[in-house]
């Protein structure tokens, strides 16, 4: 029973405008992102002075020769900054067997200076030929089960099978359905990972698992996965 599987990885980027922002800069410095979330007091050097307060309701300006600021305001860079990359790769699974799980992985990375963060969605049919689709697991995570048709993924480190890695860097985290070791899911259009706020680069490993049954027809199966990166400004 010969079943050759190939997944081609693509990506697109969307940007939605939802928050107002402003940068703070002078001849001496530029602040890319700032926030006063607790504490307060004077911060100063030869080039600036900030008198901040834990109470954002006061909104009293602090100023020096080189700076004027109103505490309680979160600023972002005047030019929105985002980064998104997907490893350009075709995942080849070779000949599949009902008695063993086929698996592979690829990587993607994302960052943004948006206060509202970002989300990443995935699109694409389950693996298919012109006459048969391998069943997607859906958005309820399941164990890998050889002998049962399954197409799923997650973004964590796994031991069954041994594939994947936890996210590295930044504050991005896989969505809840894709964030459990040895549990896999797939539903087209799902958010698979996100960050709730601005973040440095997070590197993700996307692990893909495939199982077939004895009744799965032979053939050359394939699909295209498209990732949609959505930073919200």
Q: What is the pLDDT of residues 184-212, one digit of tens each?
A: 999 999 999 999 999 999 999 999 999 99
Query: For residue 5, which of 103, 78, 71 has the smallest C-alpha distance?
Result: 103
Please list the ranges in the chain whose pLDDT falls under 70: 1-78
Q: What residue numbers bound the domain in which 66 lies? A: 32-75
| Same domain membership, residue 135 and residue 63 | no
Residue 47 has a pLDDT of 63
Residue in the structure block whose two tokens are 């860097």: 169
Residues in the chain: 233
| Same domain membership, residue 64 and residue 145 | no
List beta partners, residue 102: 210
Q: Is 40 left (phi over 0), alpha (psi -120 to 50) or beta?
A: left
Residue 138 has a pLDDT of 97
Whole-prediction pTM value?
0.70
| Same domain membership, residue 131 and residue 114 | yes
Residue 26 lies in a domain: no
Number of domains in the chain: 2
- The CA-atom distances, in angstroms, between 108 and each of 12, 70, 86, 120, 224 are 12, 38, 4, 10, 16
Per DSSP, 134 falls in state P
| Same domain membership, residue 36 and residue 64 | yes
pLDDT digits (tens, 9 = 90+) for 141-173: 999 999 999 999 999 999 999 999 999 999 999
- The CA-atom distances, in angstroms, between 25 and each of 44, 69, 76 are 15, 10, 11
């Amino acid at each position: 029973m010969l079943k050759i599987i190939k997944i081609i990885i693509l990506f697109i980027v969307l940007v939605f405008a939802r928050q107002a922002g402003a940068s703070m800069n002078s001849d001496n410095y530029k602040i890319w992102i700032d926030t006063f979330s607790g504490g307060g007091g004077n911060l100063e050097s030869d080039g600036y002075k900030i008198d901040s307060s834990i109470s954002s309701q006061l909104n009293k300006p602090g100023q020096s020769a080189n700076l004027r600021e109103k505490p309680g305001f979160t600023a972002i860079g005047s030019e929105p900054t985002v980064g998104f990359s997907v490893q350009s790769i075709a995942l080849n699974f070779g000949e599949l067997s009902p008695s063993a799980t086929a698996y592979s992985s690829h990587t993607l990375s994302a960052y943004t200076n948006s206060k509202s963060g970002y989300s990443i969605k995935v699109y694409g049919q389950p693996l298919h030929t012109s006459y048969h689709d391998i069943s997607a697991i859906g958005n309820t995570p399941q164990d890998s089960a050889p002998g049962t048709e399954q197409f799923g993924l997650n973004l964590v480190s796994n031991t069954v099978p041994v594939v994947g890695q936890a996210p590295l860097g930044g504050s991005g985290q896989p969505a809840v359905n894709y964030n459990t070791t040895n549990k896999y899911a797939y539903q087209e259009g799902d958010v698979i990972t996100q960050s709730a706020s601005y973040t440095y680069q997070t590197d993700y490993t996307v692990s893909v698992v495939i199982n077939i049954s004895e009744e799965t027809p032979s053939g050359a199966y394939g699909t295209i996965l498209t990732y949609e990166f959505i930073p919200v400004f």
